[in-house]
Amino acid sequence: MKRVLTGATLALAVLFSTQAQAACGKVTISEMNWPSAALIANVDLFILKHGYGCDAETVPGDTMPTGTSMIEKGEPDIAPELWSNSFAAQLKKGVAEKRLRIAGKSLSDGGEEGFWVPKYMVDKDPSLATIAGVIKNAKLFKHPEDPEKSGFIGCPAGWNCQITSGNLFTALKLADSGFELVDPGSAAGLDGSIAKAYERKEAWFGYYWAPPLFSANTRW
């Protein structure tokens, strides 16, 4: 079976032809540690087991270790959702060397990543839709553990965006404006941070990902 890699959002079904149904064999599916990827992995698992008769199973995964393992070891067989922005060079090489094959999009319109602030803040002050406006109003974005500091909520450990968002934090010189990079601890911690701010209509500034129609926050 050819190793399958989903780009930022890929569909599995295009790879499985009538011939594949006749002799599917054992298939391993990477189940990433964020909700949409876990859902897609289990949908793929159900389809492969009950639609194609495969001996399919999910295995724990994450962007960089899964991508690296697929390129170097040829396993797992499928990564149903992989955000490739921070791993693009290696993935392109894997595809060029025919170690990987991109199957399609698991989110039909793709996805996006960015730095976000709540829309209700931008409605009151449109300047907060720009990084310059956020820097100018840094004191609005209180650090969750030290109100004397400003907080930027970064990516959870293990997500590749922890590297890219950290590099952008440095490149934008946010620390010079009083911001401190806050590790949310987990995907649930990141989600909880946003939910808490929304419930209380408080200021929030940090990283998140989204389907393109997501409109709760404003991103640059």
Q: Give me the CATH number covering residue 77.
A: 3.40.50
Structural domain for 60, as ranges: 4-102
pTM of full prediction above 0.75: no
Any idea what the Cα angle at residue 45 is, between residues 24 and 47, rounded to 5°? Answer: 70
Band of pLDDT at residue 105, cut at 50, 70 and 90: confident
pLDDT at 23: 66
Instruction: With respect to residue 107, please indicate whether it lies within any of the assigned structural domains.
Output: no
Note the pLDDT tens digit of each residue in 160-186.
788 888 999 999 999 999 999 999 998
* Residue 204 included in any domain: yes
> Which CATH number characterizes residue 126's domain?
3.40.190.100
d(CA 124, CA 218): 13
The packing angle between helices 63-73 and 88-96, to 10°, is: 20
How many domains in the chain? 2
Q: Give per-residue pLDDT as tens, 199-212.
A: 999 999 999 987 64
Q: How far is residue 102's CA from residue 105's CA, in Å, rounded to a whole number? A: 9
192 in a structural domain: yes
Domain boundary among 102, 126, 156: 102
Query: Which pLDDT value is given to residue 102?
Result: 85
Residue at 22: amino acid letter: A
The answer to whether residues 133 and 197 belong to one domain is yes
Which residue, of 81, 102, 123, is where some domain finishes? 102
Q: Which of 68, 102, 136 marks a domain boundary?
A: 102
Does one domain contain both 116 and 211? yes
Q: How far apart are CA 152 and CA 28, in angstroms?
A: 37
Q: How far apart are CA 179 and CA 143, in angstroms?
A: 8
149 is a domain residue: yes
Per-residue model confidence (pLDDT) at position 92: 87
- pLDDT of 4 reads 44
Q: Which of 37-41, 61-65, 94-98, 141-145 has the lowest mean pLDDT?
A: 61-65
